[in-house]
């Protein structure tokens, strides 16, 4: 609908342009014509005044030969006016009024002042004067004696108010005609542009979309602006159908092979699962690419976060649409009127649709997400704050995202992948309008116990929104168990714990454990080989890390990441095992997050204080124990540190998965690293060869760091080899394939209804 309105507005603009130019030209012509007629009217008045002066000139001459006191008597009623003629007046050679018609009373001073402009050499003068708000046209003619001396001046005055009134009437009439003409032209030209160009092109775009998504075999629209366009469109459609047929055949074969999951195999599997007529639509609050302004120009940046890291490779492999909140300062200028653009910028593979929020909507929406739902689900000792106004905006923004999904899907079919707790209501909102769509919600953070959810005032609304999905995915089985327990306690639902399903109001949701993973570093364009070695040397030299064993942490600045606990454990390690001072440094890459909130600002200040305190206590000349690097680090920098470090520390206090642990494993090509992993991170259940610690136990944490530093090379390699094998086999492409397989098994609502009717018959 929005596209159609935009197309009509574009057609109307052409009509408005033509109408505007025509209106300006018409207005100029009307003004010129009125001015020309004004001049004609004035000239006509002057001719009449000249004729009157000519007729009365002999009588006035005779009157001026006698005494001045008798001039008025001699002329009598000849000086009176009628109709537009106000009358005549006679002035002496000294400028004194000798006689005047009765209608000229009150104009004497104005006429006398105008006579002073009559030059000695002039015989007559015509001018317009304004007196008492009334325009008067006067003609003054010098009367001469027989000897050539001035005897006086004879003045004929007309009321020319009618000229201004006539001009105003003509202007009103002319502008009315111009406006009517402009409106008619705008309608006519806009209509012609719509019917002849925009409407056919819109039909062509709709047809191309049906061919792309629904595999329609219909012919392209006939009424196109060019017959050559019709011919080329037919050829393009035929080539596309032939290519897709071959691709689907290859997909069926490749999807069933036993090779390790790659982007190519995922693409084949996605084509197999999506089938003909379906597209992949991802919706999340975080966008995969945002645009900031650098040196006055928009620059694309990949924001930090597990959702972006995990889902972007899937869409690059499969294509589709990603709907997200546009947060970059240059986002609007890089998208079209609807908010669409193709990404990645260097090699476009899919469409990004940005949804906009006002600053007030942004604060309230993320206030509900970050102050209420996030701390409720993550057990990091932070009290949730439930504000009704925030919840109202959360509902409104979920509705806006749901509407965007429905716009992008249109009348076609799609698999909709809803991401994380910011979109809990979207599945049900989409299902209410399109029950035939297949919808998956993946919850990237933990699902807590029933008692933790009970404190939420909107717990039932959140649960019903989530249960609008056909598949609800969590990282771990324990989260699935907790979710079903919550549904059982808080809603009237039919549960099947053998098959892990929940049925509410006739709709069945499957609850599945689908541990998410990451993309191989080799596909991210990061340096490798000698280039990577040079990057390592440059970093060591710049930071004074030559000859030092590097431990690394890569995290957003967030209370759940356990960064203060990590710094305290590292300080205790240096205190307890002084032989390692000067030999090990911790490099912490810390990405700023939610710094508009005071508690996050305070958390950052706390980290800086801890780092400075540890450095002041243990640092020596040439060695610094803590390097706290607060910045938005790009993928190349993160990979350089992960591949350089012999130890990686992930000390989350509570985390759904924590993909940094898996990224570190994939960065260790030489198998020489060691991973220290919190037992409260979801990755701990999969990466069992890591050194698993309790981040709250500072003593155990410090001992784990010591063990990682002193671990024999063969044990280190064997542990990393097993970790690497697991992550290679369970990469992001396998996660996406299992997710799509689960969605493929879902029977759309229309098919279920048809099957039910058939069974009744």
The 10s digit of each residue's pLDDT in 220-238 is 665 666 666 666 666 666 5
Residue range 42-75, pLDDT digits in tens: 889 889 888 888 888 888 888 887 787 777 777 7
Q: Which one, of 698, 455, 660, lies nearest residue 565 by Cα?
A: 698
In whole angstroms, give the CA distance from residue 660 to residue 649: 9
Q: For residue 750, is pLDDT > 70?
A: no
pLDDT score of 368 more than 90: yes
Q: What is the pLDDT of residues 134-179, one digit of tens each?
A: 888 888 888 887 777 778 888 888 888 888 888 888 888 888 888 8
The residue extents of the domains of the chain are: 14-166, 275-356, 531-734
Residue-wise pLDDT for 656-667, tens only, equals: 899 999 999 999
Residue identified by tokens 């610094």 is 624
- The sign one gets for the Cα dihedral 472, 475, 476, 482 is negative
Higher pLDDT, 537 or 348: 537
Residue with the bigger pLDDT between 306 and 14: it is: 14
Q: In percent, how much of the chain has pLDDT > 90?
A: 45
Q: What is d(CA 664, CA 123) in angstroms, rounded to the nearest whole number? A: 107
Q: What is the CA radius of gyration of the chain?
A: 43
513 has which bridge partners? 474
- As a whole number, mean pLDDT of residues 191-215 equals 70
Per-residue 3-state assignment (H helix, E strand, C coil) for 160-218: CHHHHHHHHHHHHHHHHHHHHHHHHHHHHHHHHHHHHHHHHHHHHHHHHHHHHHHCCCC
Rounded mean pLDDT, 508-522: 92
Q: Which H helix or E strand runs over 150?
A: strand 150-159
pLDDT at residue 219 in the model: 63
Angle separating helix axes 635-644 and 660-667, nearest 10 degrees: 70
| Neighbour order of strands in the sheet with 350-355 | 340-343, 350-355, 321-325, 278-283, 413-419, 438-442, 471-474, 507-513, 501-504, 494-496
Q: Which band of pLDDT confidence, cut at 50, 70 and 90, is reported for residue 27?
A: confident
Calculate mean pLDDT across residues 406-416: 90
| Sign of the dihedral through C-alpha 460, 462, 467, 471 | negative
Residue 565's pLDDT is 96
Angle at which helices 161-193 and 2-65 pack, to 10 degrees? 160
Q: How sure is the predictor about 751, in pLDDT bands with cuts at 50, 70 and 90? A: very low
| CA distance readout (Å), 685 to 237, 562, 655, 656, 721 | 49, 18, 12, 11, 17
pLDDT for the residue 212: 64
Residue 244 has pLDDT above 60, yes or no: no
* Range with lowest mean pLDDT among 14-18, 158-162, 313-317, 455-459: 14-18
pLDDT of residue 406: 95
Segments in 544-625 forming alpha helices (H): 563-576, 598-618
Q: For residue 390, count CB atoms less than 10 angstroms from its CB and return exposed for 0-12, middle for 13-18, buried for 19 or more.
A: buried
pLDDT in tens, 85-124: 888 888 888 778 888 888 887 777 788 877 777 766 677 8
Lowest mean pLDDT segment, chosen from 204-218, 592-606, 707-721, 747-761:
747-761
Q: Residue 274 pLDDT more than 90?
A: no
Please tell me the distance from the alpha carbon of residue 639 to that of residue 637, in angstroms, as a whole number: 5
Least confident among 59-68, 248-257, 395-404, 563-572? 248-257
Runs of H (alpha helix) within 437-503: 450-454, 459-466, 477-490
- Measured at the CA of 472, the angle between CA 468 and CA 473, to 5 degrees, comes to 160
Give the list of residues 6+ apart from residue 199 with CB closer than 8 angstroms, or none: 7
Maximum C-alpha span of the chain: 142
C-alpha span between 331 and 338 (Å, rounded): 12
Residues 6+ apart with CB under 8 A from 525: 635, 636
Question: Is the model's pLDDT at 326 over the cut of 90?
Answer: yes
Kindly tell me if the per-residue pLDDT of 369 is higher than 80.
Answer: yes
Lowest mean pLDDT segment, chosen from 193-202, 329-338, 378-387: 193-202
Question: Considering the chain, what is the average pLDDT of its residues?
Answer: 85
Tell me how long the chain is. Answer: 761
pLDDT at residue 276, rounded to an integer: 64
pLDDT in tens, 251-272: 444 444 455 788 778 878 887 7
Residues 321-326 have a mean pLDDT of 94
Mean pLDDT (whole number) for 348-370: 92
- Residues paired with residue 157 on neighbouring β-strands, in sequence order: 87, 138
Q: Is the separation of the CB atoms in 439 and 427 below 8 Å?
A: yes
What Å distances lie between residue 332 and 54, 241, 399, 400, 608, CA to CA?
78, 35, 21, 17, 35
CATH of the structural domain 14-166, one choice from 3.30.450.20, 1.10.10.10, 3.90.420.10, 3.30.2040.10 = 3.30.450.20
Alpha-carbon dihedral angle through residues 248, 250, 251, 257, given to the nearest 10 degrees: 160
Q: Which residue blocks in 634-697 are alpha helix, DSSP H?
A: 635-644, 660-667
Question: Given a cut of 60, is residue 754 above it in pLDDT?
Answer: no
Instruction: Give me the pLDDT at residue 150, please.
Output: 77
Q: How far is CA 391 from CA 355, 457, 462, 512, 680, in A?
A: 19, 10, 11, 28, 29
Please tell me the least confidently modeled range out of 81-85, 627-631, 735-739: 81-85
Whether omega before 344 lies within 30 degrees of 0, making that bond cis, reads: yes
Q: Residue 722 and residue 249: Cα distance in Å, rounded?
A: 36
Q: Give 431-467 pLDDT, tens digit per residue.
A: 999 999 999 999 999 999 999 999 999 999 999 999 9
- pLDDT of 74 reads 78
Q: Which 3 state secondary structure label does DSSP give 243?
A: helix
The tokens for 515 are: 């541990």
User: How far apart, in Å, are the Cα atoms of 158 and each of 46, 48, 317, 324?
Assistant: 9, 9, 89, 76
Whole-angstrom distance, CA of residue 393 vs CA of residue 398: 8
Q: Do domains 14-166 and 531-734 have the same CATH topology?
A: no
Phi-psi map region of 381: left, alpha, beta (phi>0 left; psi -120 to 50 alpha): left
192's CB contacts (< 8 A; 6+ apart) are none
Note the Cα 390 to chain centre separation in Å. Answer: 21
Strand pairing partners for 589?
554, 629
- Residues 6+ positions from 676 with CB-CB distance below 8 Å: 647, 648, 649, 650, 651, 690, 691, 693, 701, 704, 705, 708
What long-range pairs does 460-465 form, CB within 8 A, spacing at least 24? 460/490, 460/491, 461/395, 461/425, 462/373, 462/424, 462/425, 463/487, 463/490, 463/491, 464/428, 464/491, 464/504, 465/398, 465/424, 465/425, 465/426, 465/427, 465/428, 465/429
pLDDT band at 418 (very low <50, low <70, confident <90, very high): very high
Least confident interval from 199-213, 307-321, 363-377: 199-213
pLDDT bin (cut points 50, 70, 90) of residue 218 is: low
First and final C-alpha spacing in the chain: 39
Letter string b/e over residues 475-504, b meaning 16 or more CB atoms within 10 A of that residue's CB: bbeebbbbbbbbbeebbebebeeeebbbeb
Q: What's the confidence (pLDDT) of residue 630?
A: 92
Would you say residue 312 has pLDDT above 70?
A: yes
**What letters, b where the CB count within 10 A reaches 16 and e where it falls short, cover 553-565?**
bbbbbbbbbbbbb
With respect to CATH, is domain 531-734 assigned 3.40.50.2000? Answer: yes
Confidence of residue 579 (pLDDT cuts 50, 70, 90): very high
Q: What is the pLDDT of residue 222?
A: 59
How far apart CA 728 and CA 302 sit, in angstroms, is: 24
d(CA 338, CA 5): 11
| 3 state SS of 383 | coil
pLDDT above 60 (res 248): no
**For residue 8, what pLDDT band results from cuts at 50, 70 and 90?**
low
Categorize the per-residue pLDDT at 239 as very low, low, confident or very high, splitting at 50, 70 and 90. Answer: low
Residues of the chain above pLDDT 70, percent? 88
CB 518 within 8 A of CB 309: yes
- pLDDT category at 1 given cuts 50, 70, 90 is very low
DSSP string, 5-66: HHHHHHHHHHHHHHHHHHHHHHHHHHHHHHHHHHHHHHHHHHHHHHHHHHHHHHHHHHHHHS
Name the pLDDT band for 755 (thresholds 50, 70, 90). very low
């Amino acid at each position: 609908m929005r596209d159609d309105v935009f197309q009509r507005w574009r057609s109307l603009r052409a009509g408005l342009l033509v109408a505007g130019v025509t209106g300006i030209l018409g207005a100029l012509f009307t003004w010129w014509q009125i001015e020309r007629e004004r001049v004609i009217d004035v000239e006509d008045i002057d001719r009449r005044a000249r004729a009157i002066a000519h007729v009365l000139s002999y009588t006035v001459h005779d009157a001026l030969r006698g005494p001045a006191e008798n001039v008025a008597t001699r002329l009598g009623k000849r000086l009176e006016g009628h109709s537009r003629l106000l009358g005549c007046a006679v002035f002496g050679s000294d400028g004194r009024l000798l006689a005047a018609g009765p209608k000229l009373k009150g104009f004497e001073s104005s006429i006398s002042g105008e006579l002073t402009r009559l030059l000695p050499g002039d015989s007559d003068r015509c001018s317009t004067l304004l007196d008492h708000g009334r325009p008067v046209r006067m003609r003054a003619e010098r009367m001469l004696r027989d000897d050539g001396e001035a005897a006086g001046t004879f003045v004929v005055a007309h009321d020319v108010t009618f000229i201004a009134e006539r001009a105003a009437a003509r202007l009103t009439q002319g502008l009315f005609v111009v406006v009517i003409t402009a409106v008619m032209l705008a309608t006519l030209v806009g209509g012609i542009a719509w019917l002849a160009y925009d409407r056919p092109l819109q039909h062509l775009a709709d047809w191309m979309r049906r061919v792309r998504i629904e595999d329609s075999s219909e012919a392209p629209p006939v009424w196109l602006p060019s017959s050559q366009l019709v011919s080329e469109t037919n050829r393009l459609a035929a080539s596309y159908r032939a290519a897709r047929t071959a691709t689907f055949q290859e997909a069926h074969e490749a999807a069933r092979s036993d090779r390790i999951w790659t982007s190519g195999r995922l693409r084949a599997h996605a084509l197999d699962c999506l089938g003909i007529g379906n597209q992949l639509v991802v919706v999340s609050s975080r966008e995969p690419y945002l645009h900031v302004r650098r040196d006055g120009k928009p620059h694309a940046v990949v924001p930090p976060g597990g959702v972006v890291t995990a889902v972007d490779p899937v869409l690059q492999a499969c294509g589709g649409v990603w709907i997200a909140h546009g947060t970059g300062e240059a986002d609007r200028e890089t998208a079209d009127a609807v908010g669409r653009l193709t990404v990645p910028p260097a090699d476009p593979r899919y469409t990004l649709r940005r949804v906009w929020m006002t600053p007030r909507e942004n604060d309230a929406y993320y206030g509900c997400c970050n102050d209420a739902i996030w701390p409720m689900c993550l057990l990091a000792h932070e009290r949730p704050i439930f504000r009704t106004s925030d919840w109202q905006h959360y509902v409104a923004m979920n509705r806006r995202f749901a509407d965007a999904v429905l716009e992008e899907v249109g009348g076609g079919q799609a698999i909709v992948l809803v991401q994380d707790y910011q979109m809990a209501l979207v599945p049900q909102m989409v299902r209410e309008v399109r029950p035939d769509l297949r919808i998956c919600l993946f919850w990237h953070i933990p699902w807590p116990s029933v008692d933790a959810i009970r404190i939420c005032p909107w717990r039932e609304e959140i649960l019903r929104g989530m249960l609008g999905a056909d598949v609800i995915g969590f990282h771990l089985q324990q989260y699935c168990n907790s979710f079903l327990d919550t549904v059982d306690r808080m809603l009237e639902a039919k549960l099947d714990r053998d098959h892990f399903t929940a049925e509410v109001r006739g709709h069945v949701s499957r609850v599945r454990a689908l541990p998410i993973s990451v993309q191989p570093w080799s596909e991210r364009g990061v340096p490798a080989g000698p280039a990577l070695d040079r990057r390592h040397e440059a970093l060591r030299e710049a930071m004074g890390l030559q000859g030092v064993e590097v431990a690394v942490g890569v995290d957003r600045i967030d209370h759940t990441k356990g960064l203060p606990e990590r710094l305290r454990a590292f300080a205790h390690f240096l205190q307890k095992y002084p032989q390692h001072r000067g030999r090990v440094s911790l490099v912490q890459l810390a990405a700023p997050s939610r710094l508009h909130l005071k508690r996050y600002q305070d958390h950052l200040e706390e980290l800086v204080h801890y780092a400075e305190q540890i450095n002041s206590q243990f640092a020596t000349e040439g060695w610094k124990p803590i390097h706290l690097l607060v910045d938005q680090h790009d993928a190349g920098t993160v990979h350089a540190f992960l591949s350089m470090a012999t130890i990686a520390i992930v000390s989350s206090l509570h985390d759904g998965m924590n993909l940094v642990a898996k990224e570190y494993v994939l960065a260790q090509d030489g198998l020489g690293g060691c991973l220290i992993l919190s037992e409260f991170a979801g990755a701990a259940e999969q990466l069992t060869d890591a050194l698993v610690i309790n981040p709250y136990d500072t003593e155990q944490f410090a001992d784990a760091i010591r063990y990682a530093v002193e671990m024999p090379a063969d044990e280190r390699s064997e542990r990393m080899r097993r970790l690497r094998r697991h992550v290679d086999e369970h990469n992001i492409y396998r996660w996406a394939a299992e997710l799509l397989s689960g969605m493929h098994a879902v029977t759309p609502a229309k098919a279920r209804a048809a099957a039910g009717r058939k069974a009744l018959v």
